[in-house]
Amino acid sequence: MSDIAFDPVRIGIVSISDRASSGVYEDKGLPALKDWLTRALKNPITFEPRLIPDDQDRISAALVELVDDAHCALVLTTGGTGPARRDVTPEATLAIAHKEMPGFGEQMRQISLRFVPTAILSRQVAVVRGESLVINLPGQPKSIQETLEGLKDADGKSVVPGIFAAVPYCIDLIGGPYLETHDDVCKAFRPKSATRAPKAAA
């Protein structure tokens, strides 16, 4: 609605893949993240996309740049979270963390275990750096949507909550913008005391 103002938000989206970053195949992570976030959030979004190889130092440097220099309130990464030798996204993320948020990774694995037993091999982590939340997501677009949005039954009722339901309130608590979601995609949860009345547009 044009008569309601929503806080603008800057979001970093990072796809981590040796082959996609070198042009061997087309990256699907960045489009998947951008598409889902655009559908889920009412806020005007400025995206900061990055496509980088599986290199721990480069990943850490990109995350620091997105948080400290680009001032992204939220940074989502995709790829590089398995047990293979080149999968170093969690290590790169933990290296720049001020606080670890283990509940995000726990819930992502719970969602993925509904589909494949190998979900226990996933090592996604989430951290807070300054006033920014950084979350590692799976590498496949379908898994990205499932972990962010959660699982619903045939009537659209939530069966397993997605992790994004907790993201807006987390960002409130660390001093970021007030994120508002489209409930049909992902209903954000906040305590009543933390819920704001809509702001009129200027």
202 found inside a domain: no
32 found inside a domain: yes
pLDDT mean across residues, the chain:
93
Residue 68 has pLDDT above 80, yes or no: yes
Report the alpha-carbon angle 165-157-148, nearest 5. 30
170 found inside a domain: yes
Quickly state the pLDDT bin for 144 (edges 50, 70, 90). Answer: very high
Q: State both tokens at 79.
A: 């790829």
Print burial letters for 47-60: b (CB count within 10 Å at least 16), e (below 16). Answer: ebbbbbebbbebbb
Residue 143 has pLDDT above 60, yes or no: yes
133 close to 73: Cβ distance less than 8 angstroms: yes
Domain total in the chain? 1
Angle between helices 141-149 and 29-40 (to 10 degrees): 30
36 found inside a domain: yes
Query: Please, which residues have CB within 8 angstroms of residue 194's CB and are 6 or more apart in sequence?
Result: 169, 172
CATH for 20: 3.40.980.10
SS3 121: helix
1 found inside a domain: no
75 found inside a domain: yes
Reported pTM = 0.94
CA–CA separation, 85 vs 94, rounded Å?
Answer: 17
201 found inside a domain: no
Residue 1 has pLDDT above 50, yes or no: no
Residue 2 has pLDDT above 70, yes or no: no
74 found inside a domain: yes
CA–CA separation, 52 vs 16, rounded Å?
Answer: 5
Strands (DSSP E) contained in the chain are 4-5, 9-16, 45-52, 74-78, 99-100, 126-129, 132-137, 150-152, 158-161, 199-200
Per residue in 89-111, pLDDT (tens digit) is 999 999 999 999 999 999 999 99
| Amino acid at the residue 37 | L
Per residue in 178-200, pLDDT (tens digit) is 999 999 899 999 999 999 888 87
Predicted pLDDT of residue 157: 80
Residue 44 has pLDDT above 60, yes or no: yes
Q: What is the mean pLDDT of residues 129-137?
A: 98
Provide the domain limits for residue 136: 7-196
